[in-house]
Structure 1
Amino acid sequence: MKLTSILLALAVSASPLSQAAPAKKPGKKTAHAKAKPARKAAAVAVPAAAAAAAGTAAQAGDAVVFSESEAVNAFADEVALRHGFPREELDKLIAQIRYIDTAVQLVKPAPKGKPKNWQNYSRVTIEPIRIKAGVAFWNQHAAVLARAQAEYGVPAEIIVGIIGVETIYGRQTGRFRVLDVLATLAFAYPEAPNRAARMAFFRGELENALVLARKSNIDPLSMLGSFAGAIGMPQFMPGSVLAYGVDYDNNGSIDLRGSAVDAIGSVASFLVQHGWQAKQAGPLVYPAGVSDDRTWERFLNQGLAAKFGAEELRASGVSTSAVLPANQRFGLIDLPNGADPTEYRIATDNFFAITQYNRSYFYAMSVIELGRAIRLSRSGQPLASAETL
């Protein structure tokens, strides 16, 4: 199986369907479980009437001719009114948007029964191709990464880790037309318990994509991205480009598709605006052991936030060989390994900031470990598995 196929399978089974969309309050599900894209704040709200109409656009699995859909045309009326788009231009554009069944198939929930496995996931994401490409990317953009680290307080290795996990430094940014997949998921999302919410999210992102194209002075049909509409090297949803994108090369436009400099600045901007603590020193996560009495289980499934003191964790049977800062809060995360023993980590605010990019413990851990592996490889140091992360 090709690497890209393995990655896609893992992404669907262990992480959200889109990256770097604005954040919402986490629930109490384990973060590595199937979750909704977490970052929705920048999506434009769709009125209730349009939301109701959208539900009639297509039953799950039906192809849509968007120009003939009442729900799509009602949506276009509202977008034209809110943003001043000429209605006839929207009609011409809608006539060119195509239903993408691949997107529908890829957002369907993964079959139940296959256990999640952190070790398998990490072997796919933290591997020689990404490490080598990450060293080259860091060397090429060392000055920009150093500037972002100084200005935002986000370590270069975390920025490099995110861009590496997302697209292997721009090698795999997606070949779907963004408007096609967003319209498909906005008006023909497959049957699922959260179908109405997901359709509303993608309608908002379709609207954001139109606004973004106009703001960037580009043909909206020229935007390419993932099967869920994520764009560029860091895989931002259109609303996140509008909300968190940075013109870091100061050329007058934000280009996450062609400018690694803008991608670097935008990743750092996103993390800071989602809870990254620049002054928080020390590792992002600490290796943890747990006692047999399982009193520590109450710390699991507590959302994507650091809520507990070091003494509180220790008193309930969570141990670590590291010295935890007394003035910080922490969370306990679990990393299942299928039939093998589950691994545990004590996580900080900055770990959870990464989970706002993608609501998955597996994802955040892979970003941290890939960035660390690249840093060590770049400096000629061996990768010691026992090193504190």
Structure 2
Amino acid sequence: MKLSLHTNTLSSALLALALAGTAPAPAAAATPAAHSKAKAKKAKPAKAVPAKKTDYEGEFVNFGQWKEVGQFLDEMAAKHGFDRKELEATMMQVRYVDSAVQLMKPAPPGKPKNWQAYSKLFIEPVRINGGVKFWNENREALARAEALYGVPAEIIVGIIGVETVYGSNTGRFRVMDALTTLAFAYPLAPAREARMAFFKGELESTLLYARQAGIDPFSLLGSYAGAVGLPQFMPSNIMKYAVDFDGNGRVDLRNSPTDAIGSVAAFLVAHGWRRDDPGPLVYAATVSPSRQWERFINQGLEAKFRPQDLMSAGVVTTSTLPEGMNFGLVDLQNGSEPTEFWLGSNNFFSITQYNRSYFYAMSVLELGRAIKLSRRDL
């Protein structure tokens, strides 16, 4: 299982730290600013919400003078019709963010991967109680998304809870700063060139999205990797998968829980979610001492193995598996404790396309399940 940088998520930092055995406790939830109420006699416009401060000062390095940046600006002007001088003026406002570079460096060797330790970061009272509140406040949008896309409410709520604690922690990096820094000053690491190309593509999408939405690109705040809003979509995914689910004529993943809900569901469907898949997303399994099953480990994030082939290699489940479905073998390492094994369905692996991690997908399932049970107990 590898941590991919091609994610939507603010939770990637926690994931990297948790896998190294050094994860901090999750941040406490904060209450979003409410809309101002109109007075009876004379309605007043909603109060402007002060812009959040960033978590860094940033350093001016004159990105516009860098040869690679100049080539990028030339491409943006030729390919998308941007004014070259306006782009130069935009780059003059960009700041180098060393903290983003440091967070992208490979984690130092640490403790073994530990699912139980990782899951405690996300299956905890703040996220469970916040999830109950978020579900109750957005029940109509969640029901509509489930009906339209076939994605259960607990999966959508689980993702938003893991990502940003329902919008209370969406990130405080200027997306333009983070993406420019990572596109042109990525730290020395394996596949550095490919990762720089990825972030350059995200910078391109940021400029296109800002132009299309009619917003200042510097108004976009997000994670150290450039992910935006309640569901932590990368800019390219906003362009491809975000939907105007509240019907107000614009997509707003930063301030509209309804748009976030619809967009999460749309993303999962675009990445293979099937409404007609029966049964649970995962089935508990055990493996034989023969270790023939090891050939099914780390074979890609997809359900592509027939149950009979898994069983013949020593994978056993006490549950009756649905007919006609394939599965993938999921290993959740627990440090010095025994590894947990599960059979993941197609829909389980669609969640791993949101963040390419078994730990992440299982956290979404467990958090969603805990929230659903808590709502029943009320």
Query: What amino acid is the match of 1:196?
Result: E
Aligned runs of 1:210-229 on 2, under 5 Å?
A: 210-229=207-226
**Could you tell me whether the CA contact under 8 Å between 2:19 and 2:114 is conserved in 1?**
no
The one-character-per-residue Cα deviations of 1:155-178 (angstroms, maximum 9, x if unpaired) are 100000000000000011001000
Aligned runs of 1:193-204 on 2, under 5 Å?
A: 193-204=190-201
Structure 1 residue 257 displacement after superposition: 0.4
Does residue 257 in structure 1 map to residue 254 in structure 2?
yes
Partner of 2:88: 91
Partner of 2:7: 19
Does residue 107 in structure 1 map to residue 110 in structure 2?
no
**Could you tell me whether the CA contact under 8 Å between 1:15 and 1:363 is conserved in 2?**
no
CA distance in 2, matches of 1:193, 1:157: 36
Residues 233 and 14 (structure 1), Cα distance of their counterparts in 2 relative to 1, 3 Å cut: farther
CA distance in 2, matches of 1:312, 1:18: 31
117, 121, 124: which one aligns with 2:118: 121
117, 140, 143: which one aligns with 2:140: 143
- SS of alignment partner, residue 96 of structure 1: coil
Task: Report how many aligned residue pairs link the two structures.
Answer: 332
The one-character-per-residue Cα deviations of 1:328-383 (angstroms, maximum 9, x if unpaired) are 000101000111111100100000000000000000000000000000011118xx
Does residue 309 in structure 1 map to residue 297 in structure 2?
no
**Could you tell me whether the CA contact under 8 Å between 1:18 and 1:229 is conserved in 2?**
no
Does residue 273 in structure 1 map to residue 261 in structure 2?
no
- SS of alignment partner, residue 121 of structure 2: helix
Query: What amino acid is the match of 1:110?
Result: A
**Could you tell me whether the CA contact under 8 Å between 1:14 and 1:33 is conserved in 2?**
no
CA distance in 2, matches of 1:112, 1:63: 33
CA distance in 1, matches of 2:154, 2:356: 20
Partner of 2:281: 284
Aligned-residue Cα RMSD (Å) equals 1.8
- SS of alignment partner, residue 335 of structure 1: strand
Structure 1 unmatched ranges of 5 or more: 1-12, 22-31, 35-61, 382-389
Does residue 361 in structure 1 map to residue 358 in structure 2?
yes
Structure 2 unmatched ranges of 5 or more: 10-17, 21-58
**Could you tell me whether the CA contact under 8 Å between 1:244 and 1:266 is conserved in 2?**
yes
Structure 1 residue 14 displacement after superposition: 7.2
**Could you tell me whether the CA contact under 8 Å between 1:108 and 1:190 is conserved in 2?**
yes
Aligned runs of 1:1-389 on 2, under 5 Å?
A: 15-17=3-5, 19-20=7-8, 64-380=61-377
The one-character-per-residue Cα deviations of 1:297-351 (angstroms, maximum 9, x if unpaired) are 1111110011111222112111111110121000101000111111100100000
Query: What amino acid is the match of 1:161?
Result: G
CA distance in 1, matches of 2:334, 2:363: 14
**Could you tell me whether the CA contact under 8 Å between 1:100 and 1:180 is conserved in 2?**
yes
- SS of alignment partner, residue 183 of structure 2: helix
**TM-score (normalised: structure 2):** 0.85
Structure 1 residue 16 displacement after superposition: 3.3
Ranges of 4+ aligned residues in structure 1 off by more than 6 Å: none
**TM-score (normalised: structure 1):** 0.83
**Could you tell me whether the CA contact under 8 Å between 2:303 and 2:349 is conserved in 1?**
yes
**Could you tell me whether the CA contact under 8 Å between 2:2 and 2:356 is conserved in 1?**
no
Partner of 2:54: none
**Could you tell me whether the CA contact under 8 Å between 1:33 and 1:360 is conserved in 2?**
no
